Chain A
């Protein structure tokens, strides 16, 4: 670890910066039940982001989620199907009954990329992602994920919030609500959108739903800094400092009228915290301190592929955030904001080869470097890495097109780092990679497992909303114990 004391030091700093005050009042007011269930976090309104105990000892403290927006094909990356190669060009048995998004299906089509054994384990991974392939020994694959929808928006909602509908809290919100953060000088939960824009479901992927808004993901990336963080250019630093201290003086005078009022005190603290964030966020976002070797490892200096370089910088930013104790970091690869189907995301309906030839290199080296970097710094020991996408794709090409339609019946995700076996492969799809048949797992199971690794019981981490104790996993989900260390 480059700077092993950072997190600890910051925890102490932030603890000293804030005094304990009467809190019960705010607990009531904010609808956070302190007494109803021992498994709900007790949130100190003065320090809503303070680190909190998990339900049981956790294997991982931090989460890095890499989300490939647009539905990244399992068949062209990680789910090797010799039968598909063998029967390339033949009709798929039962194809006429397939439920598809865009209509008619053509024949079975092998991946345009070769698969070859990788790592010591010999896991078959395609040439589309050779750098990730090199890490095969560190990865724990789930090939049997199943979803509930074959439409992107609901699919992204489902993967990020556990519900296909809008308005439910994102996984990162649940986790930061439950666990707080280790560094209050940075947002507890950071969503890093792709350089090209936001994913299909946009802010739903990191939204708070009905959980307190304080726990939503804060979105910024290496290109687009945190909105309204910086002191406005029109105001010089001395003036800005004077204004903030004048404001605090105003607030102190006012507080004298309300001695011990925790909500007022919390708001005063929030301005102090904001000031520290103004220092710490630019610092963590400043990639210029990274060595040339590191920059090159990520591909952040790739002049020939500026998009890859931009995504690589996001990956670097992610590592720096995790290093500083940010609880949940969500990195997006692929966007819908610029360009539609397949253009800047993994939605390869019509021209899979052409489109994935662009997307593969953007994802591959930087993501692999991020994993390597976390590993070499010892961060992987307590960080869970999650790679996922909203659903998979068909083993057939669409009728009259050279790409694959949506398929939620069997797709791949992988985990790495704290709490999971590696190398490991769990579950499998049928001979063509169409449908999960072995150890079929749901997205609920996937979520339950992630929470479990963080020491959280998915059935007991609940929030009362409109008559229902809501969970990330609704009323479903089983922890996939087989993949746990």
Chain B
């Protein structure tokens, strides 16, 4: 210690000479780059390291890197610590956090803590060191290289297949088995294989007929044919969708305290199923989900907003900002984990502790997604529908023209009334009048205090009521609420959220005073131009104008309108009285036709909604110190992860183009992560565990692949096949590794109990969905219709805060595949939720697999099981005549094999002692049914 301190002191002496000379030249201007000659003399090891050693390295050295900040080398200093503040900004000492902290005026914040501050000379050395840019280039490059050292960031190269095995996958697997003195197991039986295949690929048991056919088919192509049959099944996409929807935290309620429904979310689920069924290239599958709105794959962006969403917005600004930050974090996290296998969410508050993801990267990604809002979006209208609508509109216009003479108001001017007020918009035509103030006085509403979202007054086509045009609004009194303010009355924005409400239920007035007198001819006003609200509507009102606020002249009133009626939209009235019978008949026909076509049109024009988010151009995004919305730092422009890509975007790039650019980087064959991550998921789909068993964390905190070359080979196959997932399935399914038996072997259990080396096919309990679907299929009641809105496992108590009570009786509509069971966050299905079926509040890359007594109780005693057991027993009775035949049939349906004589005898005894329902109940609970063989 003593000697190194002495050495440091010497070095400082050297350094000080250099800087003092510089100080003299710069004479207080403190711009050290202005003295390049002297600055060149500052050298890290000679001038800087000693002073860092003296003041900093005890806490920020290689031994104790507080906040993960090390200052013992330029590279380490450049990397910075956890906080995300840049310790060193090369060339910009004034922006470098290191200097901010050593110069801090507050002694509690100043570094080093509880010690003398750095001397002026020492600070000057640090400044010169940071500001001389030349040497930082090397450090930058070195930092980048070091960060990318991790295996999964290496470029993907197709590895050579080892050995001589006939199947590449077997070659890789056998190589590692051999290293551990293990071998593959023999092939599974044909009945096991077809059962395994059907459960893995479709999540359904094979029909006994298909089993028999396959077992009897000794053609060499039998297996391949069966595989193709599975891949062509529409149920393949459903099976693939199950883990995918877990992964992207897809839910059909919002979660949080109200947990309201998302009735249009299912279209995203359908999109996923169809994409898998069509074997959509995986790169396009990724692109669509991030930016599909750019090319008409609209439902796909349901991915972005599949997560929870808090409908209850805090009144407090900070809470609201935090809620928004949480929403964006959810999108960034889902994108990172699902596609890249990177846990980007970690970098929200500080630089990622394990991976080369900085806090700046996080906010750069936030800038990519910051325009995404949780909401339903109307799908673009298909061109065909558009054309149909145009044709209808022509017909409707013609009919209206024909009916014009019979309009009640045209027939008898005495009874002519204007249409009743409407919540959306009301028109007041005015004889051109020059005036300065216009006031609407509301005497009565249909309900509660009056609300107007916008009061527009036109003079020669120009809205002169706008605040931006200099007009001023005043009122009789305002209801106090953040959504409802007086200034909203003339802010040019529509809808409930930008409206004014009077403070008195008995009525009130609001007036607009123009900047100068205007000649007005039209007034438009509405309660909610967006059409969502119809309460608080002024139904008795008068509109007056005044040049001075003293004398008033009536402009318009509700008195000449039809009376307001809640349930009757105001439509034109036709009057055929007093006409010839022929004319009456013809008029009636036209009218009926008009009504018919209007209904058709309304139906057709109905927007198709999908919970796929809406998009708006975001404000600039700031890095937030420690993730705190109250601590914004520098503006961050949209970009990819800097260590992995050079993708950067201009600050003003349109929102959609940001997502397109990010999607293109992710779904690129040069991206080292994307293909590896998905190939691993497919492996996990087949074997229960991926080659990397942290499937959504390919970073340094995740685990390394058990078979790195195999993973890279599969990823290369994925890319080279045009990103075909079905191609990967074919490869895996044709391997001996997949087709081997699953029975335990003493040598395997001893060496590799976890079966990671795959000396057998790993048997495992089926997932919740496959158990439920199997039970229904076996009972002959499974409704296999694909797609569309789902069914609910609950009776929903529709209070503000929704409550979900498990159903106790089930209709045939409940017997669809569990994939279509409305995914209610927080509330899991009463029976199958216990089988580790997640509620998708968080992303789930891999389900846990637990075994508990509550599972047993529910599978034995729940109303669902009992009802299904009854249905199964009825099927057995219906489809088999004798008891032994019924037993045989049950074995074939449940286990995909015939019963032995012993088994038949045992079952016969049991049924004799009990009944067929009990036999059905026991079979539905059997291990052989709920385990993948």
Instruction: Return the chain A residue nearest B699 by Cβ.
Output: A467
- A166-B255, A466-B343 as given contacts; A246 in contact with B922, CB under 8 Å: yes
Instruction: Return the chain A residue nearest B910 by Cβ.
Output: A246
- A204-B826, A247-B926 as given contacts; A230 in contact with B861, CB under 8 Å: yes
Q: Hey, what's the 0/1 contact readout for A52-79 against B, CB within 8 Å counting as 1?
A: 0000000000000000000000000000
Instruction: Return the chain B residue nearest A243 by Cβ.
Output: B918
- A48-B852, A227-B806, A250-B922 as given contacts; A466 in contact with B843, CB under 8 Å: yes
Q: Which residues of B in the span 816-859 have a Cβ within 8 Å of any Cβ on A?
A: 825-827, 830-831, 833-834, 836, 839, 841-846, 848-858
Expressed in whole angstroms, the Cα–Cα distance for A322 and B29 within the complex equals 74
Instruction: Return the chain A residue nearest B257 by Cβ.
Output: A153
A340 within 8 A of B: yes
Q: Hey, what's the 0/1 contact readout for A39-56 against B, CB within 8 Å counting as 1?
A: 000000100100000000
Cβ contacts under 8 Å, B906 to chain A: 246, 249
Q: Hey, what's the 0/1 contact readout for A262-298 against B, CB within 8 Å counting as 1?
A: 0110111011011001100000000000000000000
**Interface residue from B753, B800, B827, B845 paired with A22 (Cβ < 8 Å):** B753
Expressed in whole angstroms, the Cα–Cα distance for A324 and B403 within the complex equals 83
Instruction: Return the chain A residue nearest B924 by Cβ.
Output: A247
Cβ contacts under 8 Å, A198 to chain B: 803
Say yes or no: A466 contacts B345, CB within 8 Å: yes
Cβ contacts under 8 Å, B915 to chain A: 239
Q: In the complex, which of the residues A214, A251, A253 has the most CB atoms of chain B within 10 Å of its own CB atom?
A: A214
Instruction: Return the chain B residue nearest A156 by Cβ.
Output: B257
Say yes or no: B743 contacts A258, CB within 8 Å: yes
Cβ contacts under 8 Å, B907 to chain A: 246
Q: Shortest Cβ distance from B609 into chain A, in angstroms?
A: 24
B884 within 8 A of A: no
Instruction: Return the chain A residue nearest B921 by Cβ.
Output: A243
**Interface residue from A100, A255, A337, A468 paired with B346 (Cβ < 8 Å):** A468
Expressed in whole angstroms, the Cα–Cα distance for A364 and B873 within the complex equals 53
Cβ contacts under 8 Å, B922 to chain A: 243-244, 246-247, 250
- A202-B826, A207-B826, A255-B927 as given contacts; A29 in contact with B764, CB under 8 Å: yes
Expressed in whole angstroms, the Cα–Cα distance for A187 and B800 within the complex equals 32
Say yes or no: B862 contacts A337, CB within 8 Å: no
Say yes or no: A22 contacts B803, CB within 8 Å: no
Say yes or no: A154 contacts B256, CB within 8 Å: yes
Q: Hey, what's the 0/1 contact readout for B159-171 against A, CB within 8 Å counting as 1?
A: 0000000000000
Instruction: Return the chain B residue nearest A214 by Cβ.
Output: B850
Task: Of the listed stretches B54-62, B289-297, B307-315, name the one at the interface; the rest are far from the partner chain.
Answer: B307-315
Cβ contacts under 8 Å, A467 to chain B: 337, 342-343, 345-346, 354, 694, 696-697, 699, 701-702
Say yes or no: B763 contacts A242, CB within 8 Å: no
A30 within 8 A of B: yes
Instruction: Return the chain A residue nearest B799 by Cβ.
Output: A340
Task: Of the listed stretches A128-136, A144-152, A369-377, name the one at the interface; the rest are far from the partner chain.
Answer: A144-152
Q: Which residues of B in the span 851-910 have a Cβ within 8 Å of any Cβ on A?
A: 851-858, 860-863, 866, 903, 906-907, 910
Cβ contacts under 8 Å, A337 to chain B: 797, 803
Say yes or no: A103 contacts B853, CB within 8 Å: no
Instruction: Return the chain A residue nearest B825 by Cβ.
Output: A166
Cβ contacts under 8 Å, B342 to chain A: 467
Say yes or no: B257 contacts A152, CB within 8 Å: yes
Q: Hey, what's the 0/1 contact readout for B385-409 against A, CB within 8 Å counting as 1?
A: 0000000000000000000000000
B480 within 8 A of A: yes
Cβ contacts under 8 Å, A229 to chain B: 857, 861
A442 within 8 A of B: no
B931 within 8 A of A: yes
**Interface residue from B315, B696, B919 paired with A466 (Cβ < 8 Å):** B696
Say yes or no: B841 contacts A167, CB within 8 Å: yes
Q: Shortest Cβ distance from A336 into chain B, in angstroms?
A: 6
B319 within 8 A of A: yes
B688 within 8 A of A: yes
Say yes or no: A151 contacts B257, CB within 8 Å: yes
Cβ contacts under 8 Å, B697 to chain A: 466-467
Q: Hey, what's the 0/1 contact readout for A164-204 against B, CB within 8 Å counting as 1?
A: 01110000000000000000000100000000011011111
Expressed in whole angstroms, the Cα–Cα distance for A222 and B502 within the complex equals 50
Say yes or no: B926 contacts A254, CB within 8 Å: yes
A38 within 8 A of B: no
Instruction: Return the chain B residue nearest A475 by Cβ.
Output: B349
Q: Hey, what's the 0/1 contact readout for B61-98 against A, CB within 8 Å counting as 1?
A: 00000000000000000000000000000000000000
B430 within 8 A of A: no
Say yes or no: B257 contacts A273, CB within 8 Å: no
A218 within 8 A of B: yes
Say yes or no: A251 contacts B926, CB within 8 Å: yes
Cβ contacts under 8 Å, B315 to chain A: 99-103
Q: Shortest Cβ distance from A479 into chain B, in angstroms?
A: 22
Q: How many A-B residue pairs have CB under 8 A?
A: 235
B278 within 8 A of A: no
Cβ contacts under 8 Å, B927 to chain A: 250-251, 254-255, 264, 267-268
Cβ contacts under 8 Å, A211 to chain B: 848
Cβ contacts under 8 Å, A340 to chain B: 799-801
Q: In the complex, which of the residues B688, B742, B854, B918 has the most CB atoms of chain A within 10 Å of its own CB atom?
A: B854
Q: Hey, what's the 0/1 contact readout for B118-154 against A, CB within 8 Å counting as 1?
A: 0000000000000000000000000000000000000
B765 within 8 A of A: yes
Cβ contacts under 8 Å, A30 to chain B: 848-850
B914 within 8 A of A: yes
B281 within 8 A of A: no
Expressed in whole angstroms, the Cα–Cα distance for A22 and B765 within the complex equals 17
A260 within 8 A of B: yes
B923 within 8 A of A: yes
Expressed in whole angstroms, the Cα–Cα distance for A30 and B693 within the complex equals 11
Say yes or no: B849 contacts A29, CB within 8 Å: yes
Expressed in whole angstroms, the Cα–Cα distance for A263 and B762 within the complex equals 11
Q: Shortest Cβ distance from B468 into chain A, in angstroms?
A: 29
Q: In the complex, which of the residues B853, B861, B914 has the most CB atoms of chain A within 10 Å of its own CB atom?
A: B853
Say yes or no: A28 contacts B756, CB within 8 Å: yes
B504 within 8 A of A: no
Q: Which residues of B in the span 295-354 have a Cβ within 8 Å of any Cβ on A?
A: 308, 310, 312, 314-316, 318-319, 326, 333, 337, 342-343, 345-346, 354
**Interface residue from B744, B803, B853, B910 paired with A260 (Cβ < 8 Å):** B744
Say yes or no: B753 contacts A25, CB within 8 Å: yes
Instruction: Return the chain A residue nearest B354 by Cβ.
Output: A467
Cβ contacts under 8 Å, B857 to chain A: 226, 228-229, 274, 277-278
- A25-B753, A28-B754, A246-B910 as given contacts; A270 in contact with B856, CB under 8 Å: yes
Say yes or no: B848 contacts A228, CB within 8 Å: no
Instruction: Return the chain A residue nearest B866 by Cβ.
Output: A232
Cβ contacts under 8 Å, B801 to chain A: 200, 336, 340
- Apart from A153-B312, A263-B763, 18 more pairs, CB < 8 Å: A48-B851, A101-B315, A102-B315, A166-B255, A207-B826, A212-B848, A218-B854, A228-B830, A232-B861, A246-B906, A247-B925, A264-B927, A270-B852, A274-B857, A277-B853, A464-B694, A467-B696, A468-B346
A interface with B by C-beta (< 8 Å): 22, 24-25, 27-31, 45, 48, 99-104, 149-154, 165-167, 187, 197-198, 200-204, 207, 209-214, 218, 226-232, 234-235, 239, 242-244, 246-247, 249-251, 253-255, 257-261, 263-264, 266-268, 270-271, 273-274, 277-278, 336-337, 340, 464-468
B interface with A by C-beta (< 8 Å): 255-258, 308, 310, 312, 314-316, 318-319, 326, 333, 337, 342-343, 345-346, 354, 480, 688-689, 693-694, 696-697, 699, 701-702, 742-744, 749, 753-756, 762-765, 797, 799-801, 803, 806, 825-827, 830-831, 833-834, 836, 839, 841-846, 848-858, 860-863, 866, 903, 906-907, 910, 913-915, 918-919, 921-923, 925-928, 930-931
Q: 15 pairs across A/B with beta carbons < 8 Å? A: A25-B753, A28-B753, A28-B754, A28-B756, A45-B851, A149-B314, A165-B326, A166-B825, A198-B803, A213-B852, A246-B914, A261-B763, A263-B931, A274-B857, A336-B801
The 5 closest A-B pairs by CB, nearest first: A467-B343, A153-B257, A28-B754, A167-B841, A274-B856
